[in-house]
Amino acid sequence: MAPSPITALPQPPPWRRFTGDGFATRPNGDSGETARRIGTAAGRRHLSTPHEIAMVNAALYLRRPLLVTGRPGTGKSSLAYLIATELGLGPVLRWGITSRTTLIEGLYNYDAIGRVQAAGSRRGHEPDIGDFVHLGALGTALLPYEVPRVLLVDELDKGDIDLPNDLLSVFEDGEYEIPELVRIAKQQPEVTVFTHDKRGSAVIGDGWVQCRAFPVVIITSNGEREFPPAFLRRCLQLHLSPPGSEQLAAMVAAQFGGAAERVDVARLISEFLERSEAVGGLAADQLLNAVHLASELATSGAYQPDEEWNELMRAIWHPLSTAEPG
């Protein structure tokens, strides 16, 4: 996977080509979201194994979603930000899944009540319907961009059991309709709506959205339940193993640079890995919490890796599940 920004990908297979009408633009900045997720450029983690690189490239070439599994804290979500950064694809569109998430929420939201209230306060003036339509992360990713966006569907296994099947037709067809706009298409064929991007907007024609470049879809799962076979057939699958000492050291360097030089980072990483093995797995951000705390205490001269510190680390490096040993 090339580290420099791209302007186009190789042609997709004939069955994954889409011809969405219109033109959509994406913002360049992401308000620091990438730096918060994967650190600054110096020392930043890259795809670390040939298999990871091969699977990401396969998803790019085939225009298929990549289902990423692994224990919490293995860097599943950060993979989307790494891809977006290394390929210059702009801000990641993140769709966080909960037990109440529906497909429509991912596509768009229409504030009918808000429109009625606005109409009542503007007598004689009908408010523009586009002011009350807000595309979700999935809906924004399917706009007709020349170069694909990166869509992160985070923790799909937390969603309703029907959500993976609901996603199938959208992923297969690369399009969706907004019925509220379809109904007024003869009177108002083009409507400008809000997108998931900060201060973003897009023009929707005839109430339909179809992609031109299928988004790079990263779906994460902690393995809390299985997905339907029909859904799995349409995804490529990548399992991430927990990061080793070298990867953890790179993460620390990416986030802290030289700010942690007063701390014995190698020792913290070694102790973190021992604790992780003992309790059935820890998340990488739990290590980052420890490094930050140690760095702050070292600055004030209060950092002492004694028994009191070890007790604090046991509290910070707590098991990720109450079923796991303490």
Per residue in 121-172, pLDDT (tens digit) is: 777 678 899 999 999 999 999 999 999 999 999 999 999 999 999 999 999 9
> How does DSSP classify residue 5?
-
- Is the per-residue pLDDT at 42 higher than 80? no
Residues 6+ apart with CB under 8 A from 190: 203, 204, 205
Q: Which residue has the higher pLDDT, 121 or 205?
A: 205
Q: Are 219 and 235 in contact (CB under 8 A)?
A: yes
- Looking at this protein, which amino acid is placed at residue 269? I
Best mean pLDDT range from 149-158, 241-250, 288-297? 149-158
Distance between CA 177 and CA 138 in Å, rounded?
A: 13
- The residues, any chain, with a CB within 8 Å of residue 68's CB and separated by 6 or more, are 76, 79, 218, 219, 220, 221, 237, 238, 239, 240
Mean pLDDT value across the chain: 87
For residue 113, the SS3 value is helix
Total residues found in the chain within this entry: 326
Q: How confident is residue 174, by pLDDT bands cut at 50, 70 and 90?
A: very high
Locus of tokens 């020392």: 43
Q: Would you tell me how many other CB atoms lie within 10 Å of the CB of residue 276?
A: 23
* Confidence band of 321 (pLDDT split at 50, 70, 90): low
58: pLDDT strictly greater than 50: yes
**Residue 69 near residue 76, CB atoms below 8 Å:** yes
Provide mean pLDDT across the span 104-113. Answer: 96
In this structure, are strands 93-96 and 108-110 parallel, antiparallel, or unpaired?
unpaired
> 187: which 2 tokens?
């009177």
What integer pLDDT is reported at residue 258 of this predicted model?
72
pTM, two decimal places:
0.86
Query: Residue written as tokens 């990263």?
Result: 218
Answer whether residue 257 shows pLDDT above 90.
Answer: no
287, two tokens: 């290590």
Rounded to an integer, what distance in angstroms lies between the CA atom of residue 1 and that of residue 189? 40
